[in-house]
Structure 1
Amino acid sequence: MQVHNHNNNEDVDILIVGAGLAGLTTSLALHRLGLRSLVLESSESLRITGFALTLWTNAWKALDVVGIGDSLRQKSTQITGFKMALPDTGLFTPGQVLDKDGKFKGYESRCVRRKDLLETLVNELPHDTIRYSSKVTNISELNRFKLVQLADGSILKTKVLIGCDGVNSVVSKWLGLATPVSVGRSAIRGLADFPNGSGFEPLSYLSFGGGTRFGFRPIDDKTVYWFCTFTPSKVPSYEKELQESPRKMKQFVSRLIDKMPREALDVLEKTSLSNISYSTLKIRLPWNVLFGNIAKENVCVAGDALHPMTPDINQGGCSALEDAIVLSRHLGEAFLKKTSGKDDEFDRIGKGLMKYERERRWRSVSLITVAYCVGFIQQSNGKLMSFLRKVWLSNHTSNALLQMAKFDCGDLNFY
């Protein structure tokens, strides 16, 4: 074994891998409790791909807990309902605002720029919290500490290791969680700019059919976020090239949505090539989450490293925020609660992470499953499915969505 020079080694109480939504929110929640953490980010700067995300009631609850809800509300429009276009009409039906029966009362839904969200989190953190260009290459153990080796050879010794490192998480591999699988659908997403105002009502516009699902929602008066997800049968033979060329992505989407409402095409036209991206959709299979290790000893995962899901009920980002609050609450208790008796800090950390695992396991399983089923029905072809969509979907999608958004992650207080 190589002996490393000691200057290269460093001790940290809580080490978070990944400066995405889950990692930064966890770090901020811990900071609110008076606990320091170090966040490692493999890229050179904040990653803001994906452009925007829709945050529901459960997410706003979590953002309020860490004290940044209100400043983000000022940058985003409250969405008040849905408008659906049925595939065969090519029009958004005016009578189809899904909140006609007032279901949205008491719910909060806004589309937020990822950049605004991440920068707001970073600005609240002590300035040396994030270390960029820090790629984790290996995780090992020394007594009960975890040793995290970086690409530059340095080693960090930590009491708690939290993986918020996304779909290809190194930490989840260490925990033995099965690799996420592709669901065979892909997504192209973008941001459209309307310098003179978009004129769209504050609604979520959705149109689907024939294996394609297109939707858009205003972020504010001048910016609209859109997404287009499609099934394998639609994925062109030149998928590799497509992923590298925003111009080709745009042409491809315009072919997919040519029978959809005029508004959909307007939004696409107003999207500059620097504001469009491609991704293949992956999930961690629900039974892997049910039976796998979400936490083990003093290591755990959160966000996409725990429960990658399809975007069909807008809960990917929301549930990452929930994870952050629940995890920080249990870690706060482990580090800060004065206990009498013999249990040491590592025992308390282990117990805290077990509580986190118990609280998040079923929630993660149900979110992954509901999102997948909703997407499957919305995008499948065939007569039976389009019948189901007409009869069942408009009502049940909104029900499923609202059901999942009703969750309360609780506060940071552990007493």
Structure 2
Amino acid sequence: MQRQEESGEDIVIVGAGIAGLAAALGLHRKGVRSVVLESSPALRASGFALATWPNAFRALDALGVGDQIRKLHLRIEELRVMSASTGEISKEVDFRDEFCCIRRDVLLHVLASELPTGTIRYSSKIVSIDEHFDGAKILHLADGSTLRAKVLVGCDGINSVVARWLGLAKPSHSGRSATRGFALYPDGHGLPPKFLQFFGHGFRFGFMPCNDTDVYWFYTWSTSTDDHGLDESRAKMKQNVLTKLRSSKVPAEALELVERTEDAPVVPLRFRPPLSLLFAGISKGNVCVAGDALHPMTPDLGQGGCAALEDGVVLARCLGEAILAGDGDGATGGSEKERIDSCLRRYVGIRRWRSIELIGTAYIVGFFQQSNNRIISFLREKVLAGVLVGRLVKMSDHDCGTLSS
């Protein structure tokens, strides 16, 4: 393939996922241009939906899209945690603050629609990164072209090329896997606006409505030799989930959700060891990472997408102020390179411990929620259920701030 001429951009964001689009929109709101490289030919909506806690709505409001999201989704009023072994309610929590189950494709399209035309460049996959003598990063794309970037932000997911360039620890397998999906009810599902979770028998199952017609569900389990090949047959996986649910105290409407679902892919649950982030180089000069490229975690807190939105707001605030300072619109002195390096260190200082806490807490909560150990199961149903739910609520009580200092 013939090599194309090198082009240049001030700020290049890799990945048009939640973190990448949030960072780009935050910069746009501050009047700073960026380019988002997306390897796919269109926005990817894998993942189906995400729990959206109060901290995520604070970030969405900071980005100016909170009300758009609210209009398209039901507000969930209650979390009910139940034993899959006995059917008894272990814990009930009324959501006083906002909580929704947001369709991922809706969120991505809302974020993307607020960006200037041409901000997202599709079918642009990075294969390697080189460093120019002046500190700029030379990005080599799969089509043979190169792109010069003054600032490089990796929002390219759990298999991030940018995270690998920074030397971050490779994500580890948690020993668990998940499948999830949508149940569609064209005439309305009639379910109450509640988030139901079931624990026991070695699995974790939950569901909640996104709107009047779509219901999101998930199922996680500990991987065993019996699961070999399930990822190759989604039909087999679906039957396996139904068999497990039928042998537990899960209500009939839960079974119907799975039966109605046509596509339920299997995903191994991986996470970045939290202690590896204590002294890791989350940023290096004019390069940093955000979203799953920074803090891949198990889904037990429902905070992966929420944290990505937080990252986007904080990064846009720090980076935007550094860029604007060169136009006389800020108080930070020094050269542009010094300001950029400093702002990314400030971003890391804000997000490092938050990322460590989220990853670690999610892993621990998942371990206790899903364990089939008799002692842990007894303690979970009698004592730990309230503690674990309390951690979910506590981790959502976070404010990433606005786009201004």
Q: Deviations over 1:149-197 (max 9, x none)?
A: 1111211111100000000000001101010011010000000012232
Match of 2:249 in 1: 260
**What is the deviation of 1:237?**
4.3
Among 163, 177, 189, the residue aligned to 2:180:
189
**What is the deviation of 1:199?**
2.0
Among 105, 108, 111, the residue aligned to 1:115:
105
Amino acid at match of 1:144: G
**What is the deviation of 1:293?**
0.8
**What is the deviation of 1:341?**
9.1
Among 205, 208, 221, the residue aligned to 1:214:
205
TM-score calculated relative to the size of structure 1 = 0.92
Q: Deviations over 1:188-237 (max 9, x none)?
A: 0000012232222111111111211010011012111000000023x634
Looking at structure 2, the residues matched to 87 and 342 of structure 1 have their Cα atoms a distance apart, in angstroms, of: 59
Looking at structure 2, the residues matched to 340 and 133 of structure 1 have their Cα atoms a distance apart, in angstroms, of: 38
Looking at structure 2, the residues matched to 207 and 382 of structure 1 have their Cα atoms a distance apart, in angstroms, of: 16
**What is the deviation of 1:75?**
1.1
Match of 2:259 in 1: 269
Match of 1:127 in 2: 117
Among 47, 50, 54, the residue aligned to 1:50:
47
Amino acid at match of 1:137: V
**What is the deviation of 1:381?**
1.2
Structure 1 position 307 matched with structure 2 position 295: yes
Q: Deviations over 1:111-166 (max 9, x none)?
A: 01111000111111111011111111111111111111111121111110000000
Name stretches of at least 5 consecutive residues in structure 2 with no aligned partner. none
Match of 1:279 in 2: 267
Amino acid at match of 2:259: E
Aligned length: 398
Q: Is the 8 A contact 1:326 1:409 kept in 2?
A: yes
Identity %: 48
Match of 2:92 in 1: 98
Looking at structure 1, the residues matched to 160 and 100 of structure 2 have their Cα atoms a distance apart, in angstroms, of: 28
**What is the deviation of 1:20?**
0.6
Among 68, 72, 78, the residue aligned to 1:71:
68
Structure 1 position 350 matched with structure 2 position 341: yes
Looking at structure 2, the residues matched to 313 and 156 of structure 1 have their Cα atoms a distance apart, in angstroms, of: 37
**What is the deviation of 1:394?**
2.4
Amino acid at match of 2:265: S
Amino acid at match of 2:210: I
Q: Mark the CA change 1:224 to 1:14 in structure 2 (over 3 Å): closer, same or farther.
A: same
Looking at structure 2, the residues matched to 10 and 133 of structure 1 have their Cα atoms a distance apart, in angstroms, of: 16
Tell me the secondary structure at the aligned position of residue 343 of structure 1: coil
Matches within 5 A, 1:117-196: 117-142=107-132, 143-196=134-187
Tell me the secondary structure at the aligned position of residue 333 of structure 1: helix
**What is the deviation of 1:392?**
2.5
Tell me the secondary structure at the aligned position of residue 73 of structure 1: helix
Q: Deviations over 1:74-98 (max 9, x none)?
A: 1111111112221222x364xx661
Looking at structure 2, the residues matched to 319 and 145 of structure 1 have their Cα atoms a distance apart, in angstroms, of: 28
**What is the deviation of 1:288?**
1.2
Q: Mark the CA change 1:71 to 1:245 in structure 2 (over 3 Å): closer, same or farther.
A: same
Q: Please provide the CA RMSD for this pair.
A: 1.7
Structure 1 position 297 matched with structure 2 position 285: yes
Amino acid at match of 1:48: A
Q: Is the 8 A contact 2:56 2:306 kept in 1?
A: yes
Match of 1:249 in 2: 237
Q: Is the 8 A contact 1:205 1:217 kept in 2?
A: yes
**What is the deviation of 1:260?**
3.4
Q: Deviations over 1:8-53 (max 9, x none)?
A: 2111000000111100111111011111111111112111111111
Q: Is the 8 A contact 1:50 1:277 kept in 2?
A: no
Match of 2:371 in 1: 380
Name stretches of at least 5 consecutive residues in structure 1 with no aligned partner. none
Match of 2:398 in 1: 407
Looking at structure 2, the residues matched to 70 and 391 of structure 1 have their Cα atoms a distance apart, in angstroms, of: 39
Amino acid at match of 1:98: E
Looking at structure 2, the residues matched to 195 and 134 of structure 1 have their Cα atoms a distance apart, in angstroms, of: 36
TM-score calculated relative to the size of structure 2 = 0.95
Match of 1:230 in 2: 221
Q: Is the 8 A contact 2:17 2:156 kept in 1?
A: yes
Q: Is the 8 A contact 1:98 1:394 kept in 2?
A: no
Among 28, 33, 46, the residue aligned to 1:31:
28
Match of 2:323 in 1: 335
Match of 2:387 in 1: 396
The farther-off stretch of 303-312 and 190-199 is 190-199
Q: Is the 8 A contact 1:374 1:397 kept in 2?
A: yes
Matches within 5 A, 1:84-95: 84-89=81-86, 91=87, 93=89
**What is the deviation of 1:290?**
1.3
Structure 1 position 320 matched with structure 2 position 308: yes
Looking at structure 1, the residues matched to 145 and 358 of structure 2 have their Cα atoms a distance apart, in angstroms, of: 38
**What is the deviation of 1:340?**
7.8
